[in-house]
Chains A and B, each alone.
Chain A
Amino acid sequence: GENVEQHPSTLSVQEGDSAVIKCTYSDSASNYFPWYKQELGKRPQLIIDIRSNVGEKKDQRIAVTLNKTAKHFSLHITETQPEDSAVYFCAATDALYTGANSKLTFGKGITLSVRP
């Protein structure tokens, strides 16, 4: 089955700097890669996702890049702000084309701290 790993487990950056969170996956059939943000005491919420036919996707200050050859994808946050402090979960699945029964596998999460 799919194995998703996130590195590092914690990341601390200065406000205004960029943050990059990396995930690796094991199943080359995976084709959909969402990122979820979980603020302290809150529920996870989808912030961005990418499909395997796209190499990069941007949404304002966040972007996700995908390297299918190396089987890794990364979340990039520019001009970080204190409200970016949260746990970020990456996930992978082959459900996009293979059907509803495919499994979404989450990484263990990375805690991002943005220092004011």
Chain B
Amino acid sequence: EAQVTQNPRYLITVTGKKLTVTCSQNMNHEYMSWYRQDPGLGLRQIYYSMNVEVTDKGDVPEGYKVSRKEKRNFPLILESPSPNQTSLYFCASSLMGQGSSPLHFGNGTRLTVT
């Protein structure tokens, strides 16, 4: 089944404790991206990647890191999480480009930073 898999689904952590949210897609998509969703603010892009070893900042990259060492994986790293990073995170992939082909979203990761 074609899908984008995120883990974990739920994560509660404390301020400053490094964490990684994994994202993997099995559709051989070139493009992958991370979004955060907050009430009243919609979907805001954190980072995106056009291909292996190619990443770029989205609208809200501060406090986040990403890497794209393999085509299928695009982990999101929070080196020192803070409470304002409490949010619902979505990974997405598409065959090409930033929305010129449909985005396939993962099931989301709900992160709480205390």
Contacts and interface: CB of A to CB of B under 8 A. Distances in A.
Contact of A91 (B90, B99, B105): B99
Interface in B7-66: 30-31, 40-45, 50, 56
Given A89-B42, A100-B97, A49 B102 contact: yes
Contacts, number: 64
Contacts of B100: 32, 93, 95-96, 100, 102
Contact of A100 (B98, B103, B105, B107): B98
A46 B102 contact: yes
Nearest to B58: A103
Given A49-B102, A100-B31, A101-B50, A95 B43 contact: no
A101 B42 CA distance: 21
Nearest to A97: B100
Interface string B77-97: 000000000000010000011
Interface string A25-50: 00000001010100000111110010
Contacts of A103: 45, 98-99
B75 interface: no
B42 A106 contact: yes
A100 B42 contact: no
A108 B44 CA distance: 9
Given A103-B99, A109-B42, 6 more contacts: A32-B100, A34-B99, A46-B103, A93-B98, A102-B98, A103-B45
24 contacts: A36-B103, A42-B107, A44-B43, A46-B102, A91-B99, A93-B98, A93-B99, A95-B97, A95-B99, A95-B100, A100-B50, A100-B96, A100-B100, A101-B97, A101-B98, A102-B98, A102-B99, A102-B100, A103-B45, A106-B43, A106-B44, A108-B42, A109-B42, A109-B43
Interface of A: 9, 32, 34, 36, 42-46, 49, 89, 91, 93, 95-96, 99-104, 106-109
Interface of B: 30-31, 40-45, 50, 56, 90, 96-100, 102-103, 105-108
